[in-house]
Amino acid sequence: MYRRLATVGLTTAVTLGLLAGPAAATHDPTPGAPGIGDPYYPLAGNGGYDVGSYDLALTYDPATDLLRATATIEARATQFLSSFNLDLEGLDVESVTVDDRDAAWGRVGGELTVTPQGPLPAGRHFTTAVTYSGIPQQLASPLGSTGFTHTDDGALVAGQPDSAASWFPSNDHPLDAASFDVRITVPEGLEAVSNGVLEGRRTAAGWTTWHWRAPAPMATYLVVLAIGEFDLRAYEVAGVQYWDALDPDLFTPLPELPDLPPLGVTAEASLARQPEVLAFLAELFGPYPFRAAGGIVDDPAELSFALETQTRPVYASGFFADPIGGDLVVVHELAHQWTGNLVRLAAWEHFWLNEGFATYAEWLWLEREGLVPVQQQFDTLMSDLLPADDPFWTVLPGDPGPDALFSAAVYIRGALTLHALRQAVGDDDFFRTLRTWTSAQAGEAVTTADFVALAEQESGRDLDTLFRAWLYTAEKPAAG
């Protein structure tokens, strides 16, 4: 996630058991928990099962905003299940089956409770199919309204900490990552873009079905859907397949800024640097972890952020008002492909592991471009921009609380923490820690304690005092 944060004048828990773990040993089946155990969002996700894959077959008509869909979910029971929950906001459920047999279901708020005809033993693989329809609605978020957003020519789905529940039933928490197959049928003449690789498209009777496949495990909030008129460009560099989607309206000059290039031109130039950015980030974090990449640039008024939707980030057009800002937001979201996507959160309180790392990648990029050395960025923030009495220091990046999840401190103080670590252990140990973090924890859900343990292992130092001062103390730390 990228928000407009000014730095140096430039836009720049306890480890949770997997899926809340199995229930206590019992001979009788019990319901899966309605939440996965996140302290910030108690009803996010669900317990009792682990999803392996989602197959989404969707039809969307922008003329009516009507979505018709079937979600097929392959999962494994992690306890003896009498029933289980899926997260789904709004939308009308028409039928539910478990292993091709009609299942009973009920709804309370955003919880869809499914009761199969017979209980599911622990370890049992099962298939749930939910057929549903309706006009999707946005979800409340610390960022404002996110999730399914209706645009002037289609729709855009992106949001954090959740968005999936606004358009498909899911185990909507990063702890439960899964592969995705997405088929989107839209009126002929419109594009439909999602994650991963475009497997094909076909048109019949005035409708086009686009098929996207993302086999690498992905948190549900990282699934993207963009429908509308897009300039869709496909190319391949160094074995990575790129698809970039830009709203053609962005290439019209802004009447209020007639002397500046259209936002589409700047966005196009920044996206053209993606292979270069990925090569730079691979030096920090190891090889790029996915087969596909690219970006989606759209301009609905409601979109004021960028988000690291896996393999294909979404960008609000305003980030490309200047070339440096455009390049930085691309660096930020592509850094998340390692820190946030490949290595994902066990709970939202550890969000700085996403945003602090991506922000620090921006600082390293600025230095690489010959614009601002990282040490100067750190010194300026610590000496001039953030005095000790600034409320900035009252937010704890290691446990900011849900209301401050997207605060500047999570991003900037998170990056400052990494630089303080670098100063304490030296470049060799620091950069080895970054590379080991994304390789040893690849595909895992992680906590701050995991990172602290790794940094101590790689450096041979006790770092508890450093991390406590920078992440968990409501005052300005002493600069190193």
> Given a cut of 60, is residue 22 above it in pLDDT?
no
The answer to whether residues 80 and 219 belong to one domain is yes
For residue 200, what is the domain's CATH number? 2.60.40.1730
pLDDT tens, 94-124?
999 999 999 999 999 999 999 999 999 999 9
| Together in a domain, 185 and 42 | yes
Q: Is the pLDDT of residue 387 over 70?
A: yes
Give the residue among 275, 478, 285, 345 at the shortest CA–CA distance from 37: 345
Cβ neighbour number for residue 222 with a 10 Å cutoff = 27
Which tokens is 410 given? Answer: 């999570």
Looking up tokens 């969707």 gives 58
- Tokens representing 203 are 């048109």
Domain edge (last residue) among 180, 212, 227? 227
Closest CA to 47 of 21, 13, 16, 82: 21
Number of domains in the chain: 2
In a domain, 396, yes or no: yes
Cβ pair 334, 290 in contact under 8 A:
no
Q: Are residues 166 and 35 in the same domain?
A: yes
Domain boundary among 227, 248, 266: 227
Is 47 a member of any domain? yes
Phi, psi of 75 (to 5 degrees): -145, 170
42 has pLDDT over 70: yes
137 lies in some domain: yes
Please list, in sequence order, all residues whose beta carbon lies within 8 angstroms of the beta carbon of residue 24, skipping any fewer than 6 positions away: none
Structural domain includes residue 291: no
**Cα-based torsion angle of the residue sequence 105, 141, 177, 23 in order, rounded to the nearest 10 degrees:** -50
Min mean pLDDT across 11-15, 58-62, 271-275, 428-432 is at 11-15
Residue with tokens 């836009």: 11
Is 145's pLDDT higher than 90?
no
**What 3-state class would DSSP assign to 464?**
helix
Whether residue 161 has a cis bond before it, omega within 30° of 0: yes
Average pLDDT (310-326) is 95
Reported as a pLDDT band with limits 50, 70 and 90, residue 147 is confident
* Closest to 336 measured CA to CA, from 368, 317, 312, 364: 312
Last-in-domain residue among 211, 227, 243: 227
Look up residue 48 and give its DSSP letter: S
Q: State the average pLDDT over residues 17-32.
A: 61
Which residues pair with residue 231 across a beta bridge?
246
Which run of H or E residues covers position 466? Answer: helix 464-471
Kindly report the average pLDDT of the chain as a whole number: 93
Q: Which residues pair with 357 in a beta bridge?
A: none
Residue 209 forms part of a structural domain: yes
| Res. 25: pLDDT tops 50 | no
Tell me the three state secondary structure of residue 167: coil
Residue 329 lies in a domain: no
Give the DSSP H or E segment for 150. strand 144-150
Q: Average of pLDDT values for 437-446?
A: 97
Which CATH number characterizes residue 434's domain? 1.10.390.10
Question: Residue 184: CB partners within 8 Å, gap ≥ 6?
Answer: 58, 59, 60, 192, 194, 209, 210, 212, 225, 227
Positive or negative CA dihedral for 399, 402, 403, 406? Answer: positive
Position 374 scores a pLDDT of 98
pLDDT tens, 327-370? 999 999 999 999 999 999 999 999 999 999 999 999 999 999 99
Q: Is residue 136 part of a domain?
A: yes
Q: What are phi and psi of 230, to 5 degrees?
A: -130, 145
- Residue-number span of the structural domain to which 175 is assigned: 21-227
84 with 221, same domain: the answer is yes
- The single-letter code of the amino acid at 230 is F
Instruction: Tell whether 222 and 348 lie within a shared domain.
Output: no
Is residue 337 one of the residues assigned to a domain?
no
Q: What pLDDT does 125 receive?
A: 98
* Local structure of residue 381 (DSSP, 8 states): I
Question: Distance from CA of residue 272 to its chain's centroid?
Answer: 22
